[in-house]
Amino acid sequence: MQKPLAYRMRPTKIEEIVGQADLVGPGKIINRMVKAHLLSSMILYGPPGTGKTSIASAIAGSSQYAFRSLNAATDTKKDLQIVAEEAKMSGTVVLLLDEIHRLDKTKQDFLLPLLESGQIILIGATTENPYINISPAIRSRTQIFPVHPLASADINTAIDRALQDRERGLGKEPVDLADDARNFLSHRTNGDLRSALNALELAVRSTPKTDGQIRVTLSDVEACLQQQALTQDKDGDAHYNVLSALQKSVRGSDPNAALHYAARLIEAGDLTSLIRRLLVIAYEDVGLANPPAAARAVTALQAAERVGLPEAQIPVANVLIELALSPKSNSAMDAMQGALADVRSGNYGAIPPYLRDAHFKGATELGHTGYQYPHNFQNGWVNQQYLPDQLKDAQYYQPKETGKMERAYAKQYQKLWQAQHHPTSHNQDQEDQHHD
């Protein structure tokens, strides 16, 4: 039985990997490991079809090591023992362990000494956050690398290779792939190369020849992916244009336009991109003007993710309308950008001694003293400098007054700023209010 196209087209060396240039491109960390023959165990995490297995097989091929693949959930400790025996004989084995977040303690304990000795180079693959779902013992012995959905250009590169490769791909077939069909494969698979290649192969194998050609149309690809294509530009930017138009419509307080662009994404089955963008909008564009709306958005979008399409459209609609009609403020985002600009430019200075950690023996000798505990003072506040000296007058937060909540925050912020930087004036104001 012939393997699927995506399986057959897996790269055999690191130069054949498409996408993930930040990891495998020239001069990048995994590329450096391979070139220097200094491989270390790693965890690759990201969505399905983004190249985790491809990276593992390419590392093994480029390094001339034996490559084995197991599943942490379904394969047994005995299967690991077989790999370990092979590693003892051959020197080193690259082991791809899929669903590594489901590795139980017995298998983990067996693996740990093999990782320490270097007999097994472990490449764990997972769709789960490894910082939450993988044991510290494994994490401490691996490097963690995120992999991302492939860009449309990367998927197009892989499609071209598959159509041209006469040994592993479809190069022996007289395929004429329509531009709109190619565009659909590269944009409506949400960066999942496996889905794109396997849908392409199904379309090619199931389309009869006409005048000696296999002409694959948009409708053929739609049928194989069981999704409906939306009208899109020839350059393929429509997906990103829809996301941009969605955010700008919410920011512009137009719920009807926001619903329209969200409907395009829902119809394309792209719930993941829609949820991610709405979460960004909630905190970037609504922000402090209506914090409860952002909190409700998180809850509703978690529900949407859990129930999936088509029912997910209901909580999504609630979020869209509330965010569009909420007052808007990007002051929190601007404040963080200002703080980051100072840090990135090296403008940060020394932390005041009394703010440094004092929970260890010898802290007093190091001068980590003088901190005033605000809870010991009336109203829970004491005039105390928190920023480094060279930034003591920095004001990253510039309040806006577009919502009731931020107006209240602005009033408190201005009051505290005045008290900290102009205490004499602040005290005089209090005395005047008392005499009044």
pLDDT in tens, 178-193: 999 999 999 888 788 9
Segment 189-211 shows an average pLDDT of: 90
The strand pairing partners of 66, in sequence order, are 93
Half-sphere exposure of 368 (CA within 13 A, CB side): 12
Q: Is the pLDDT of residue 426 over 80?
A: no
Average pLDDT taken over every residue of the chain: 88
* Amino acid 360: pLDDT: 84
Q: For the chain, which domains are there?
A: 5-146 (3.40.50.300), 152-225 (1.10.8.60), 238-325 (1.20.272.10), 331-435 (1.10.3710.10)
Sign of CA pseudo-dihedral 259, 262, 268, 271: negative
Range among 55-59, 149-153, 213-217, 306-310 with highest mean pLDDT value: 213-217
Q: Which helix (H) or strand (E) holds 251?
A: helix 238-251
In 3D space, the residue among 237, 254, 150 whose CA is nearest the CA of residue 193 turns out to be 150
Alpha-helical regions (H) of 364-403: none
Q: Tokens 């091929």 belong to which residue?
A: 61
Half-sphere exposure of 294 (CA within 13 A, CB side): 20
Distance between CA atoms of 329 and 312, rounded to whole angstroms?
Answer: 27
Distance between CA atoms of 415 and 68, rounded to whole angstroms?
Answer: 64
* Amino acid 374: pLDDT: 94
C-alpha distances out from residue 187 to 146, 192, 340, Å = 21, 9, 33
In 3D space, the residue among 46, 64, 297 whose CA is nearest the CA of residue 148 turns out to be 46
The CB density around residue 105, as the number of other CB atoms within 10 Å, is: 9
pLDDT tens for each residue of 235-275:
345 677 889 999 999 999 999 999 999 998 898 788 888 99
Cα angle value 189/194/197 (rounded, 5°): 85
Q: What is the DSSP string of 165-233?
A: -SSSSSTTS-EEE-HHHHHHHHHTTTT-HHHHHHHHHHHHHHSPPBTTBEEE-HHHHHHHHT--PPP--
- Top pLDDT among 429 and 47 is at 47
Mean pLDDT lowest among 54-63, 89-98, 229-238, 386-395: 229-238
Sign of CA pseudo-dihedral 429, 430, 435, 436: positive
Q: How confident is residue 319, by pLDDT bands cut at 50, 70 and 90?
A: very high
Specify the pairing of strand 143-146 against strand 93-98. Answer: unpaired
Q: What is the DSSP string of 58-113?
A: HHHHHHT-EEEEEETTTS-HHHHHHHHHHHHHHS-EEEEEETGGG--HHHHHHHHH
Distance between CA atoms of 200 and 337, rounded to whole angstroms?
Answer: 43
How large is the greatest C-alpha to C-alpha distance in the chain, in angstroms?
99
- Cβ pair 287, 403 in contact under 8 A: no
Q: Which residues contact 152 (CB under 8 A, 6 or more apart)?
A: 186, 187, 236, 239
Q: Which helix (H) or strand (E) holds 259?
A: helix 255-267
Segment 281-304 shows an average pLDDT of: 95
